[in-house]
Structure 1
Amino acid sequence: MGTKPSDHPNHPVELALLAILATLWGASYTFIKLGIETIPPVTLIAGRTILAGAVLLLILRLRGIRMPRDAGTWRRFTVQACLNSAIPFTLIAWAETSVYAGLAVILNSMTPVFTFLITIMWSRHEATSAHKMAGVLIGLAGTCAIVGSQAFSHVGQELVAQLAVVLATICYAGAAIFGKNFKGLDPMVPAAGSVIAGAALLIPVSLVVDRPWLLEPSTSSLLGLAGLALFSTAVAFVIYFRLIRTLGSVGATAQAYLRAPIGVAIGAYFLGERLTATAWIGLVCILVGVALMTIPPRRSKPALGAA
């Protein structure tokens, strides 16, 4: 899947899918918060990838699509799993043991900024413009406002947790770029392959660290795990890999400026979360920055991922 759009990005179907993806991923932070109440982070994410992988394999079987069997493709699936599921999922789940779901979604909304920076440094296929650079600087300022306030107040677990979310965000950005390696595959194939590879990486760690057979998860945690696996992973990944192909890598991550307010609203409604003034300032900066990066000027072609 190339990082340049291949279809018409402003097609109503693609934009609707972008909004749906933002909602599914915005809800994932609340699902995680519910899950980690009685399920340790590594085991929660192992369960997330196992269930999501099983659902995707079942759908592929019903569609008559076979998974690749060559070692090269599975190596790429494993790299994608590290960037897009195993590492970032676990980092965010661990971080949410000490930070609000709403704060996690705000910090994680920096994905388009880091995606752009990676393309500039490595693949160099995104044009640099004052419009985009302004977005980068404003977005980074928002992140610094959130993380920096914690650093100046006191250095503790919350600061480390916030930095873990930022690291997960960088992983997601790398995943958006690496997604170009699956050109020609049905979008559901790399989605299934990456979560299956992620499960293979996480299951041994879960067995050793958490001994899941001794856990007694609550009903709300199990429901959080189910929602996380089925909606925020299985369905979301299928949409995500399609959008990488149709909108491009930066265009696909444009859901971040929709995901942030949706995720904050879901956390506030279902978890009763209340963000600090600094978090709200950071949210506004990040939303403005991401919007500047992903919404082109009127004089340019109407493509979210165009450069």
Structure 2
Amino acid sequence: MSTQERHTTSGQISLPIEAGLLLLLSLIWGSSFTLIKLAVATIPPFTMVAARVTIAAILLILIATAQGHSLPRQTSVWAAFVVQGLLQSALPFTLISWGETHITSGLAGVLNATPPMFVLAIAVMTGRGRQAICGRKIAGVVLGLAGVALTMGIDALSGIGTASPLAQTAVLGASFSYALAPIWGQRFSGLPTVVTAAGAMSCAAVLMLPTAAALEQPWRLEQPPAQAIAAVIALGVVCTALAMVIYFRLIHTLGTLATTSGSYLRAGFAVALGTAILGEHLTWASLAGMALILAGVVAVTVPALAPTAGTPAGAPRN
């Protein structure tokens, strides 16, 4: 049994290690916005996502096989994998990739910092989860939503039919999908993380390959430049295959809300990398909106990484 499996099955985890993995995951996914921007300049979004998840699926299956794991055979498990692959990969990857054909990678990263607020809203409406709903967390949700509105701008309300507001809404839709994914993913706690990642990513590939073929006919596209191809490979290997193994581990060790709390770190990395590598610029309104979003997300999520009264420091929490 691996070290990780001993941690998750015994209920004893090391918070510094898990927090470090959360930081690493945030950096990886923060860099994905820059890589997506580089790729979609010459590769259509559905084709890019199909290539990304297929590369990840093949790599994860090979890793699972090398570790001596076999994929489940139960139909019910694969049906659950289909939902996980849709919520965690196929749908949000496509929404973000399409959105970045119209908005900057930094703005996409900021708007995609909102999953923790959606998780909290879902908890309030459904009663799921064990987090205490306090006034500070509710205030954080309000702050974050105000930041989203400010980032999108007042013009978005009057020009809702234009590309930019729709692109921003698509990225927010990806955030909602990301909020649902870890809630659904908790049902795979009995499986090794690499098997869960391989199964979900395989289903995402099955969903995206025919979609890309029908909508974009990638075999008719011109040869993309080496930079775009390298970006897609990096997205598949690092930002998807490696990231998913870390992600499913954190769901079982830190829980849903704490795992999604990496979104505010991800937004910071996305903005920094977009500015440094792509030369992107944000307006003062966008910067102010980003500050409100990050303040709101911090207010909602930071306590999730700290032990609560009556909870052992190493015990996993939702």
TM-score (norm 2): 0.90
For 2:34, the equivalent position in structure 1 comes to 30
Residue 305 (structure 2) pairs with residue 292 (structure 1): no
| 2:259 counterpart of 1:252 | yes
Which of 95, 99, 123 matches 1:95?
Answer: 99
What is the CA–CA distance in structure 2 between the aligned matches of 1:5 and 1:119, rounded to whole Å? 25
Q: Which runs of 5+ in 1 are unaligned?
A: none
Map Cα deviations across residues 52-98 of structure 1 (whole Å, 9 max, x no partner).
00111111111001111111000000001111111110010000001
Q: Does 1:232 align with 2:239?
A: yes
Q: Does 1:179 align with 2:185?
A: yes
Name the structure 2 match of 1:241. 248
- 2:211 pairs with 1:212: no
Counterpart CA distance in 1 for 2:292 and 2:108 is 15
| Secondary structure class of the residue paired with 1:68 | coil
Say if 1:112 and 1:256, in contact at 8 Å, map to a contact too: yes
Equivalent AA in structure 2 for residue 18 of structure 1: L
Task: Tell me the distance in 2 between the aligned counterparts of 1:193 and 1:287.
Answer: 33
TM-score, structure 1 as length reference: 0.93
Contact 2:42 2:228 in 1 (8 A): yes
SS at match of 1:273: coil
Q: Distance in 1 between matches of 2:114 and 2:14?
A: 22
Shift of 1:6: 7.9
Match of 1:160 among 163, 166, 169: 166
Question: Letter of the aligned partner of 2:264 in structure 1?
Answer: Y
Q: State the match for 1:39 in structure 2.
A: 43
2:195 match: secondary structure = helix
Please show how residues 61-210 of structure 1 align to structure 2 within 5 Å: 61-125=65-129, 126-152=131-157, 154-155=159-160, 156-210=162-216
The structure-2 alpha-carbon separation of the partners of 1:219 and 1:204, relative to structure 1 and needing over 3 Å to count, comes to same
Deviates more, 1:140-149 or 1:280-289: 140-149
Once the 2 structures are TM-superposed, how far is the Cα of residue 294 of structure 1 from its aligned partner? 1.2
Q: Deviations over 1:215-246 (max 9, x none)?
A: 22111110110111111100001000000000
- 1:133-170 deviation per Cα after TM superposition (whole angstroms, max 9, x unaligned): 11111111111112243414633100000000001100
Q: Structure 1's 78 and 97: CA in aligned 2 closer, same or farther, altered over 3 A? A: same
**Is contact 1:34–1:221 with CA below 8 Å preserved after alignment?**
yes
Deviations 1:241-264 (A, max 9, x none): 000000000011111121111111
Question: Aligned to 1:109, what secondary structure does the other structure show?
Answer: coil
The equivalent residue for 1:279 is 286
- Give the distance between the partners of 1:239 and 1:50, measured in 2 at CA: 18
Kindly provide the amino acid, as one letter, of the partner of residue 47 in structure 1: A
Which 4+ runs in 1 deviate beyond 6 A?
Answer: 302-305
Q: 2:273 aligns with which of 256, 262, 266?
A: 266
The 1:24–1:150 alpha-carbon spacing in structure 2 relative to 1, beyond 3 Å, is: farther
For residues 226 and 150 of structure 1, do their structure 2 counterparts lie closer, same or farther at Cα, with a shift above 3 Å needed? farther
Output the CA distance in 1 between the equivalents of 2:91 and 2:198: 17
Percent same amino acid at aligned positions?
A: 40
State whether residues 5 and 305 of structure 1, in contact with CA within 8 Å, keep that contact through their aligned partners in structure 2: no
Q: Which residue is 2:56 aligned to?
A: 52
Q: Which amino acid aligns with 1:181?
A: R
Note the aligned Cα RMSD (angstroms).
2.2
1:296 match: secondary structure: helix
Partner of 2:16: 12
**Does the CA contact (< 8 Å) of 2:152 and 2:286 recur in 1?**
no
- Which residue type is aligned with residue 46 of structure 1? A
Tell me the alpha carbon deviations over residues 172-196 of structure 1, each in whole angstroms, 9 at most, x when there is no partner.
0000111111121111112111111
- Contact (CA 8 Å) 1:294, 1:305: kept in 2 or not? no
> Judging changes above 3 Å, is the alpha-carbon distance between structure 1 residues 49 and 102 closer, same or farther for their aligned structure 2 residues?
same
Preserved CA contact (<8 Å) 1:5 1:247? no
How big is each residue's C-alpha offset from its partner over 1:270-289, in whole Å with a ceiling of 9 and x where there is no partner? 11111111111111111111
Q: Are the counterparts in 1 of residues 12 and 315 from structure 2 also a CA contact under 8 Å?
A: no
Distance 2:25 2:50 in 1: 22
Kindly tell me: are residues 96 and 232 of structure 1, through their superposed partners in 2, closer, same or farther at Cα, counting changes over 3 Å? same
